[in-house]
Structure 1
Amino acid sequence: MDIRKFIKSFSYALTGIWTASKEQNMRFHLVSMVVVIVAGLLTGLSITEWLILTLLMALVIGTEMVNTAIERVVDLASPEIHPLAKDAKDVAAGAVLVFAVCSVIIGLLIFLPKWL
């Protein structure tokens, strides 16, 4: 294994995270993640609850990054408006929405009993 290539791959990944963080929806998800972390610290969550929330946050952020990548590739491949390009972008955005909504529901199931 070439360690220089391996380390360089982390550089590319960090650049990808930085690039995605410039997107409006990604910034919303990142702010939401900070709010959840602060709320979790103030609420005193169990290890299991932290594991669940960490997994959910990673899934939402990761899915948003894949959505951003799909949008960029579609825009590159089809600069003009095309129904299939629109479908691809809409489906990717829908995947993010599914994860985000499910994450909110699970978050409420974790937090509400502790708050009420």
Structure 2
Amino acid sequence: MNIRKFFKSFVFAFQGIILVIKSEQNFRFHVLAAVVVLLASFLTSLSKWEWIIIVMLICGMFMIELVNASIERVVDLASPELHPLAKQAKDLAAGACLVYAICTIIVGLIIFIPKWSGILF
């Protein structure tokens, strides 16, 4: 195992994260949403398991957005001109992000509504 290559791979990974933050509006929106959810979580007495779920949902959203951005770039590289299959590939990746985002909203509501029902109603 080459330790230099190993640590260099972390540099490349962080460069990818910086790139997606700078270039992808949806990723920045999800960062903002994560900050709001984390603030709400701190203000709500969540159990250890609820915290684990919240962290996993946030990290999962970040991961799927990173995968979506990489798929978009690969498709753009492979098919610089408009092509129906290229559009389908990009739409499918974006659809995966949307499905996961809807899932996170539903799970978040399941966690937070019971905790806030006494405060709001």
Question: TM-score interval w.r.t. the shorter chain?
Answer: over 0.9
Letter in 1 for 2:29: F
TM-score (norm 2): 0.94
CA distances 1:50-81 after superposition (whole Å, capped 9, x unpaired): 10111111111100000000001111111110
Letter in 1 for 2:55: T
- Number of the residue aligned with 1:11: 11
TM-score (norm 1): 0.98
- SS of residue matched to 2:64: helix
- SS of residue matched to 1:45: coil
How far is 1:90 from its partner? 0.2
Higher relative contact order (CA 8 A, sep 6+): 1
Coordinate RMSD, CA, aligned: 0.6
- Number of the residue aligned with 2:35: 34
Segments of 4+ moved more than 6 angstroms: none
Q: How does 1:2-81 map to 2 (within 5 A)?
A: 2-22=2-22, 23-81=24-82
How far is 1:2 from its partner? 1.0
For 1:89 and 1:63, locate their aligned partners in 2 and report how far apart those are by CA, in whole Å. Answer: 13
- Number of the residue aligned with 1:90: 91
